[in-house]
Amino acid sequence: MKKIFTISIGTAIVIFLTGCSKDPVANFAYSPADPYTGEQVSFDNLSMDAESCEWNFGDGTMSTVWRPVHTYLSGGTYTVTLKAFGKRSGMDVYSMNVNVTSLQPQVEFGVYTDLPGEDGPIATETDIVFVGEQVEFYNTSVNALSYLWDFGDGYTSDLESPVLSYDTPGVYEITLTGYGAGNEQDTYSTTIEVVEGVNSALRITVLDVDEDYLPVAGASVIIFETYDDWYNFENELDEVFTTVKGKCVYEGLEAKRYYVDAFANDDYNNSGLGVADPGWVETQLLEPDYIHDFFAYIEYTGGKKSVRTERVSSKRIDLEASRKKKLQDLKTGRINKYSKAR
């Protein structure tokens, strides 16, 4: 559309033809098409015949930048509105929904201590540690970008997988909070017991041979001072039971070797292994100021062991059966004793 202006100068008439400004047309696109919380979203202003603009991102924030980049902190559907302003007084509005997916963190971790292996330290999951023992908190969280640890003893950390030791015996609740790219967060807690380790201490782990060496919770553990006592189930020391991670601890022991009897659910025990090879049930020589770990392997026997006579009889039967058992693979890889200085 054109406007005509006439000006009279004396007897002459001058005619001017001027162009009229077009009204703006607002339009935009954005990428990525399916953004996540915390991810940058780029908005491409495709408006025509506009000199300026105003964005409303639908989350309470605005911008006058021509091609802005915006980050959403929460998942949801946001209506993004673009106002395009023309050279004079014209304006156009265009809106589009942006669907933002929330990435919820899933927080979890394990508690590990190192055992001295021939080829280097062996990380072993635990829920019982000794005073002064180095403990690693191994973070297995997903979709979390930052962390806050509370170790239950007044100390905190923002490291991904911190390492520390405890100075005082007790039961501690460890809590990890993981934060996502936006406002998302998740929390996971577990409890560990810290023991003093008086004199010669022994930490025993009960593992199931038939279940890929998984730890056995609630297993009965009894130790004896001699192999004959173990075999005949006589002069036993106190009975203790394993934790969720298959752990238990004896403190205040003498500087000597002990023999470990372990069983669970009446049908799983270490009698056959111990009869076939006393090394399966005999601990290392316990020394003061050392942390001693012993792994007690149990296997399915199908025989009840809830009464002393039944347990002794079971061991005698195992003595005959052990000659027929195929234990060579297990024996070849048997390393069930670990000691490290405190």
Same domain, 329 and 230: yes
CA 27/CA 46 separation, integer angstroms: 5
The verdict on residue 268 lying in a domain is yes
The verdict on residue 178 lying in a domain is yes
The CA-atom distances, in angstroms, between 324 and each of 96, 210, 276, 291 are: 76, 17, 10, 36
Same domain, 54 and 151: no
Same domain, 322 and 206: yes
Look at residue 286 and tell me whether its pLDDT is greater than 80. yes
Same domain, 217 and 319: yes
118 confidence band (pLDDT: 50, 70, 90): confident
Higher pLDDT, 193 or 212: 193
Give the residue carrying structure tokens 């807690």. 189
Q: What is the percent of the chain with per-residue pLDDT over 90, rounded to a whole number?
A: 71
Q: What is the 3-state secondary structure (H, E, C) of 109-154?
A: EEEEEEEEECCEEEEEECCEEECCCCEEEEECCECCCEEEEECCCC
The verdict on residue 86 lying in a domain is yes
Count of structural domains, the chain = 3
Q: Which two tokens mark 115?
A: 């055992």
Pairing of strands 268-269, 259-264: antiparallel
318 confidence band (pLDDT: 50, 70, 90): low
Indicate the residue type of 19: G
User: What CATH number does residue 121 fall under?
Assistant: 2.60.40.10
Q: Which two tokens mark 229?
A: 């006592």
* Domain boundary residue, one of 100, 125, 149: 100
Same domain, 227 and 295: yes
Residues 6+ apart with CB under 8 A from 46: 27, 28, 29
Look at residue 330 and tell me whether its pLDDT is greater than 50. no
Same domain, 159 and 282: no
Query: How big, in percent rounded to 5, are the helix, strand and coil portions of the chain?
Result: 10, 50, 40
| Residue pair 177/186 in contact by the 8 Å Cβ criterion | yes
The verdict on residue 20 lying in a domain is no
Residues of the domain holding 74: 25-100
The verdict on residue 12 lying in a domain is no
pLDDT tens-digit profile of 120-153?
888 999 999 999 999 999 999 999 999 999 999 9
How high is the pLDDT of residue 323? 37
Same domain, 334 and 207: yes
Region 167-193: mean pLDDT is 96
Same domain, 209 and 318: yes
How high is the pLDDT of residue 9? 53
Same domain, 229 and 182: no
The verdict on residue 72 lying in a domain is yes
How high is the pLDDT of residue 8? 54
The verdict on residue 76 lying in a domain is yes
Lowest mean pLDDT among 24-28, 298-302, 315-319: 315-319
The verdict on residue 10 lying in a domain is no
* Domain boundary residue, one of 100, 122, 141: 100
Residue 267's SS3 state is coil
Same domain, 265 and 333: yes
Q: What is the percent of the chain with per-residue pLDDT over 70, rounded to a whole number?
A: 85
